[in-house]
A and B are shown apart, each in its own frame.
Chain A
Amino acid sequence: MNLEGRTSVLSVSGGGFAESVEQDDIALVQRCQKGDALAFEQLVIKYRSKVFSMIYGMVQNEQDAWDLAQEGFVKAWRSIHRFKGQASFYTWLYRIVTNVAIDSLRRKGFKKTAEFDDDIAATEVEPGSKTMPRPDPMPHQGLEREEIRLRIELAISKLSPEHRAVIVMKEIEELQYNEIAEALGCSIGTVMSRLFYARKKLQSLLKDVYENL
């Protein structure tokens, strides 16, 4: 049975199928809580690709993403007895691995002074403010895909860990606000606010790229 294929529709499908997937997860989690490592292995097989992809989007480094995904799953196993089923297992797991990734980024010394802060009042960012292109002259044509990707990665690396998380979850994983809020353990309003500042920052860093495509 191709479990990875089944989970790929988890976030976009509703109704019976998603419910049955969650029921499968609950049964596996209950076995895990009795110490059944083989049940946990099935959950790992099911979610490893999505977890890796999400972490990679945040840390932009394959080896780091691999190590952090391992760390996240180990933490999930060690704390699985605390899972009460209030959220889906997938959301609960996302919360653990996101925290692992955020902690790692913080340890590596993200400079918060260069970042938008959620606490900044709205008056500090003009509602209609026009973000300016980078002053450095950039090639206007012929940006190769690899160059574009590197520019995007560089721009994302300048976001705070929390802002990276919301951008990755929203733009790459295409999660809904409430799913992101559950995964990050914050309110939907905070998620939307973080998205606002993260996008503003990316807009200022990448304007010359998307305007010249």
Chain B
Amino acid sequence: MKTFEQLYTAWVDGALTKDEAAAFEKEHPELLKERDDMSKLKKLLQDNLVPAKLAHPEFFTSKLMEQIVPAERSLPSWFRVPRLAWGGAASLAFAFLLFLLIIPHPWTPQPEYVAEVLKTTTTDPKISATVDSEKGITLIKLDGVENVPDDEDLTR
């Protein structure tokens, strides 16, 4: 059973059968003027509300695809896990790398070079200095220094 509104709309749009339209008009003779009104309204709308034209349709599509493609296609599927999880894993890996590189370990090979002597001149010409760097040790030898007495307290 159609309501009045439904019958009226179908009548205005010419969607009723001939018999249905005749029955409706017989029941509502006062509406005949209404149909003219509605026809004028429909014509007014159809004449003046022409479909809007999309300006720059190619730009529209390219902007749209920018939203779709980066999100869905450029990233491999394994990357779509939550970013927080990947961030945490990356931080742990970085910390482990720092541990390996910076903190000395027993197995880290010790450098052979110990020190570099830049100058061996002395203020006393009687004393000469020579440098011997072998087996990872830098040895400075002083020749011509007076003997230190055995009873000299070197701790002072």
Contact = CB atoms under 8 A, between A and B. Distances in A.
Binding between chains A and B: yes
Main SS class of interface, B: helix
Interface in A36-81: 37, 40-41, 44-45, 48-50, 52-53, 56-57, 62, 65-66, 69-70, 73-74, 77
Contacts of B57: 45, 48-49
B141 to A, nearest CB: 79
A121 B75 CA distance: 55
Interface string B49-73: 1111111010011011101110011
Interface string A198-213: 0100110011011101
Interface residues of B, number: 43
Interface in B22-74: 28, 30-31, 34, 37-38, 40-46, 48-55, 57, 60-61, 63-65, 67-69, 72-73
B67 A70 contact: yes
Interface string A168-203: 101111000100000000000100110111010011
A65 B45 CA distance: 19
A85 interface: no
A122 interface: yes
A199 B38 contact: yes
Interface stretch (A16-24, A106-114, A144-152): A144-152
A199 B42 CA distance: 9
A213 B5 CA distance: 28
Interface in B1-20: 2-6, 8-10, 12-13, 15
A74 B54 contact: no
Contact of A203 (B28, B37, B69): B37
Main SS class of interface, A: helix
B49 A171 contact: yes
A35 B30 CA distance: 59
How many interface residues does chain A have, given as a range? 35 or more
A210 B73 contact: no
A199 B64 contact: no
A41 B49 CA distance: 28
Contacts of A77: 68, 72
A128 interface: yes
A196 B41 contact: no
A195 B15 CA distance: 13
A44 B6 contact: no
A213 B51 contact: no
B4 A57 contact: no
A96 interface: no
A181 to B, nearest CB: 12
B2 A189 contact: yes
A122 B2 CA distance: 12
Interface of A: 35, 37, 40-41, 44-45, 48-50, 52-53, 56-57, 62, 65-66, 69-70, 73-74, 77, 122, 127-128, 131, 145, 148-149, 152, 167-168, 170-173, 177, 189, 192-193, 195-197, 199, 202-203, 206-207, 209-211, 213
